[in-house]
Amino acid sequence: MIINDLILNYVLLYMILEFYEINWQKAHTVMGMLAHMYKYYSKSIFLFLIMQPTFYFSVWFAMISDFNLYAIILLFLKTVDVATKILLIEQVFVKRVLSKDLSLTLLAPINNFLPYIGMVIYPILIILAL
């Protein structure tokens, strides 16, 4: 019973943090999402990183789960997610170097449910890690 409550608490905490990230990044295109993120990134990269609480959750969760394989997968995915965002922001807004294909991809509309995929995949990894 205690283990089930613990798992539920971790999953709920993660989902709250993920929902927060989804809401401040929400846009109709990836370029719109990057523009929202760039507002914080341009002020300070540290502010941008603070706005990524699920990354810190994944670091903490990997440590408390004794670096379980599924917790490491979660940490890896969140690290790649944050790194990709930073690389795209740098390329689009700082260096201003875009290929035609990348610009078309960034401007393509995204499905309304796409940002919420993480609310399904990541909690499964949390459950499997415990």
Q: What's the pLDDT at 87?
A: 96
Is 129 domain-assigned? no
Q: Percentage of the chain with pLDDT > 90?
A: 81
Is 130 domain-assigned? no
What is the Cα gyration radius of the chain?
Answer: 16
Is 104 domain-assigned? yes
CB 31 within 8 A of CB 47: no
Q: What's the pLDDT at 6?
A: 85
- The whole-model pTM stands at 0.89
Q: What backbone torsions phi and psi does residue 29 show, to the nearest 5 degrees?
A: -135, 165
Residue 68 is encoded by which pair of tokens?
Answer: 């379980």
User: How many CB atoms neighbour CB 53 within 10 A?
Assistant: 16
Domain enclosing residue 70, as ranges:
2-124
Is 20 domain-assigned? yes
Is 32 domain-assigned? yes
Position 40 pLDDT exceeds 70 = yes
Per residue in 82-127, pLDDT tens? 999 999 999 999 999 888 888 888 999 998 888 899 999 999 999 9
CB 127 within 8 A of CB 7: yes
Q: What's the pLDDT at 2?
A: 67
Domain total for the chain? 1
